[in-house]
Amino acid sequence: MSVLYTFPGQGAQRAGMLHKLPDHPEVRRTIAETESALGQDPLQLDSAAAFGSSFAVQICLLLAGVAMARVLAAHGARPDMVAGLSIGAYPAAVVAGALDYTDAVRLVALRGRMMDERYPHGYGMAAIVGLDRGLLERLIAQVHSRTMPVYLANLNAARQFVIAGIDEALEAVIGIALARGATKAERLAVTVPSHCELFADAATAMREAFSSVTLGRPCIIYLSSSAARALSDPIRIADDLASNLATQVHWYDTTRLAWERGARLAVEMPSGTVLTKLTVPVFIGGRAISCEESDMDTVLALMSRECRR
């Protein structure tokens, strides 16, 4: 049986998340490497005020994910496969051994800043729960237009989706969805319209940035949540990372793939528990936990038991 590490995306951030990481040499090393690559102290980026910027959020999620994985590795615990949602794909690629951490910091900084610059205000994302995909797509089509863009962005569960677009269009879809039987429809803590064609030009710029970076073959299984498949070719992984800000997320299919490939324990890296809640229904007979809600000894014990099976 296998252990899957999951890495959350934007919206899972929590103020003070970097300051809540374990007091461990690997955390301090990751913070120092991040500061060297950025030219600024990352510990100044995890405040509620700073989180108005995608740049700050994404750097914090990258740092937290890699740091926690390094702490676990220092205790002899390593995953068999990794998967990340959106920005979470970057720490996943680092932990898989496909992407150098310093390169990841620079690329994520560029990614976050471009996203902030292109849509500084007036756009975002919303979660819709309780409708099937076909109905939600029809509701989106009723609202979408050139001046009111809105898209299906994330397919997180059988009846849980995320839409992205301009504020007015998001609110319109939320209203219609609730009227048509959605059990929940609310805005997310995301200030940009990720995973849709609104970021097509940014994806092109990211592909250009990746052209100067050398990736390697992953040493463990790297699951792409954009393609919902395992990738091992460094060129394909680079394109997957560069393009994912403008590509739909297929998280439900990705967790099903992990299960089919033998994963029975999913461990979510900081921050939050979003991916754990999405993974539990798929890992029937297995287990999904988050580092934020489980103490270190529990995580290590569960990983050790899984590896002995």
Q: Hey, which residues are catalytic here? A: 86, 195
- List, edge to edge, every strand of the sheet that includes 160-166: 150-157, 160-166, 123-129, 184-187
The b-or-e profile of 158-177 (16+ CB within 10 A means b, else e) is: ebbbbbbbbbebbebbbebb
Measured distance CA(242)–CA(94) in Å, rounded: 14
Residues 6+ apart with CB under 8 A from 108: 58, 59, 62, 87, 90
Report whether the peptide linkage leading into residue 2 is cis, meaning its omega lies within 30 degrees of zero.
Answer: no
Q: What is the dihedral of CA 146, 252, 234, 232, to 10 degrees?
A: -150
Fill in the DSSP letter of residue 154.
Answer: E
For residue 302, which of 276, 272, 271, 282 has the smallest C-alpha distance? 276
Quote the crossing angle between the two packed helices 54-74 and 25-38, to the nearest 10°: 150
What tokens were used for 160? 């849980």
